[in-house]
Amino acid sequence: GESVGLHLPTLSVQEGDNSIINCAYSNSASDYFIWYKQESGKGPQFIIDIRSNMDKRQGQRVTVLLNKTVKHLSLQIAATQPGDSAVYFCAEIPINDYKLSFGAGTTVTVRA
């Protein structure tokens, strides 16, 4: 079936650098996308979301970009900090649907 997936399972980033985490989705009916951060031993934490009528959305130190043409989603983290070390998941819901589907996740490790 259709699913959400991530390009890279791991990402190592130098503290202070910018991070880019990528996600490819296959369901063209996807309408709503969310990025979650999961720290060890905790549940996923909402970071930022974007709807399909937008290309870009910015939060505090984070930016989500959506390219519907190639069905690609990315999360950019500015000035990566040690506290950003976690597993990042993208998730999507098709329009008029309810099922929040997750990709496999990318483990981000921040080097001091």
Report the residue number, 8 or 100, with the smaller CB distance to other proteins: 100
Report which of 39, 8, 34, 40 is spatially closest to residue 21, judged by C-alpha positions: 8
State in angstroms the smallest separation of the CB of 63 from other proteins: 17
Report the residue number, 60 or 112, with the smaller CB distance to other proteins: 60
Report the residue number, 54 or 79, with the smaller CB distance to other proteins: 54
Neighbours of 30 (CB within 10 A): 22
Contact assessment for residue 105 and residue 8, using Cβ atoms and an 8 Å cutoff:
no
Q: What is the CB-side half-sphere exposure of residue 60 using CA atoms within 13 A?
A: 4
State in angstroms the smallest separation of the CB of 80 from other proteins: 22
State in angstroms the smallest separation of the CB of 17 from other proteins: 25
